[in-house]
Amino acid sequence: MANKLWYSRAIAAVATGALAVTLAACGGEGAGGGSGAGDDAGAEEGGLVGVAMPTETSERWIADGAAVEEGLEAAGYEVDLQFAGDDIPTQQQQIDAMINAGAEALIIAAIDGTTLTGQLEAAAAQDIPVISYDRLIRDSEDVDFYVSFDNFQVGVAQANALLNGLGLVDEEGEPVEDAPEGPFNVELFAGSLDDNNAHFFWDGAMSVLEPLIDDGTLVVPSEQTDIDQAATQRWLQENAQSRMEDLLTAHYDGNEQVDGVLSPYDGLSRGIIEALRSAGYEDDAMPVITGQDAEIASVKLIADGVQDSTIFKDTRLLADQAVTAAEALLAGEEPEANNTTDYDNGLKVVPSYLLPVVTVYADNIESELVDSGYWTAEEVESGVADTE
Ligand code: BGC
């Protein structure tokens, strides 16, 4: 995978250990100010850091896990990296085991953001700092820091990409002159309700789409406009595919066409595309379909004109933020936050560092994904990650 290689190259280039500074220079964006704070803190002790990731069924989490592990190791830590196969008890046991093994810090991307209270209590009792990685851990006082992307903005960007594909706004989300009047038939998908992010994505998207549903520019033939109706349990492709099949059967007769689908994640988009193909939609006449994560199979679908867009979240930068935050916490310092208001987990507002996101269409795959080394041109061409 290109990003893994990129990371290895970056690390090889920094034998001196000025990791944060170099990553900031390579990645461009927000590496905690690139201060290198805590570069030496804890490193000489080589303490153990536990890294808990949700699943390996989505390539973004594999890339996240690898990047966090490499960043921590380069900073002198030992790493226990675990994936939980999207099984909540497994993730709980993995975190228990990390604590028992003497982890000095935990970096956790939760499967279900509400199920780790017991683990976090145990961590707090031993003064083990906890960083919530990309998905906010809810209902616990014991979350020290949150690193993620601007999740509301992800939803706004997805909705704008949908409208852009329908010819209603430009790539900046500004209304275009002589836009078609519509109405356009759209269907809406949300993520897994136990993932805090799913709500931010939905709220961001609906802040853009709702006025257009209200004024009749967009029509949702299924009338499923609540997040509970649109949700996709566990973010699974097959769940999105079967819901799309049901929607097509129940609400689209021979004359009705789907013009657009709001999809919050590339895996779901691929399930939606499969359902549409089975219903007779040709690849060159698909509705406008959005996505998220720039997964390689979907980047190829975008290059081929089947899927319209995805939201690129550079997991290398997120991993770097997590490493920087862990170093700060282990040095007894507060990590640098750029948001201290929006991420209330039910018991506290968790200080956060949010990274920006980029909308990728066919015309900027090369500039955003290939030139930055996230995917190689060969990977985009084949649609398969090079795992060497
Ligand atoms: C992440 C998304 C991802 C989704 C499914 C969310 O929490 O923020 O990037 O697409 O989970 O894995």
| Residue of 199, 293, 310, 313 to mutate, ligand 1, most atoms within 8 A of C-beta | 293
Is there a domain that residue 365 lies in?
A: no
Is there a domain that residue 370 lies in?
A: no
Read off the pLDDT of residues 215-255 as tens digits, 9 standing for 90 and up: 999 999 999 999 999 999 999 999 999 999 999 999 998 78
Contacts of 65 (CB under 8 A, 6+ apart): 51, 53, 81, 83
Q: Are residues 144 and 253 in the same domain?
A: no
Q: Across-strand partners of 354?
A: 148
Is there a domain that residue 80 lies in?
A: yes
Q: Are residues 302 and 204 in the same domain?
A: yes
**Cα diameter, the chain:** 68
Compute the distance from residue 360 Cα to the ligand 1 centre, in Å: 16
Q: Are residues 55 and 107 in the same domain?
A: yes
Cα–Cα nearest to 85, from 119, 120, 61: 61
Q: Are residues 49 and 61 in the same domain?
A: yes
Mean pLDDT (the chain, rounded): 90
Read off the pLDDT of residues 316-345 as tens digits, 9 standing for 90 and up: 999 999 999 999 999 999 999 999 999 999
Q: Are residues 115 and 87 in the same domain?
A: yes
Query: In a 3-state reduction of DSSP, which class is residue 385?
Result: coil
Is there a domain that residue 361 lies in?
A: no
Is there a domain that residue 366 lies in?
A: no
Atom number of ligand 1 nearest to Cα 265: 10
Q: Are residues 129 and 39 in the same domain?
A: yes
Compute the distance from residue 119 Cα to the ligand 1 centre, in Å: 22
Q: Are residues 118 and 210 in the same domain?
A: no
Q: Are residues 289 and 334 in the same domain?
A: no
Q: Are residues 136 and 158 in the same domain?
A: no
Q: What is the CA radius of gyration of the chain?
A: 21
State residue 45's pLDDT score: 62
The DSSP string of 305-372 is: TSS--EEE--HHHHHHHHHHHHHHHHTT-PPP-SBSSS-B-SS-BPPEEEE--EEE-GGGHIIIIITT
Q: Are residues 288 and 319 in the same domain?
A: no
Range of the domain at 348: 3-150+314-355
Is residue 364 over pLDDT 90?
A: yes
Is there a domain that residue 373 lies in?
A: no
Residue 59 sits in a domain whose CATH number is: 3.40.50.2300
Compute the distance from residue 369 Cα to the ligand 1 centre, in Å: 18
Compute the distance from residue 265 Cα to the ligand 1 centre, in Å: 7
Is there a domain that residue 368 lies in?
A: no
Compute the distance from residue 61 Cα to the ligand 1 centre, in Å: 9
Q: Are residues 139 and 7 in the same domain?
A: yes
| Residue of 136, 147, 235 to mutate, ligand 1, most atoms within 8 A of C-beta | 235
State residue 24's pLDDT score: 34
| Residue of 58, 132, 150, 299 to mutate, ligand 1, most atoms within 8 A of C-beta | 58
The DSSP string of 140-154 is: -S---EEEEE-HHHH
Mean pLDDT for 52-77 is 95
Is there a domain that residue 388 lies in?
A: no
Number of domains the chain is built from: 2
Ligand 1 within 6 A of CB of 293: yes
Question: Residue 262, exposed/middle/buried by CB under 10 A (0-12, 13-18, 19+)?
Answer: buried
Mean pLDDT for 180-191 is 97
Read off the pLDDT of residues 268-290 as tens digits, 9 standing for 90 and up: 999 999 999 999 999 999 999 99
Give the model's confidence band at 12: pLDDT under 50 very low, under 70 low, under 90 confident, else very high: very low
The DSSP string of 55-93 is: -SSSHHHHHHHHHHHHHHHHTT-EEEEEE-TT-HHHHHH
Q: Are residues 144 and 248 in the same domain?
A: no
Compute the distance from residue 42 Cα to the ligand 1 centre, in Å: 31
Q: Specify whether the CB–CB gap between 287 and 275 falls below 8 A.
A: no
Cα–Cα nearest to 210, from 265, 163, 264, 269: 163
Is residue 134 over pLDDT 50?
A: yes
pTM: 0.89
What phi and psi values does residue 111 have, to the nearest 5 degrees?
A: -75, -55
Read off the pLDDT of residues 96-106 as tens digits, 9 standing for 90 and up: 999 999 999 99
Is residue 27 over pLDDT 70?
A: no
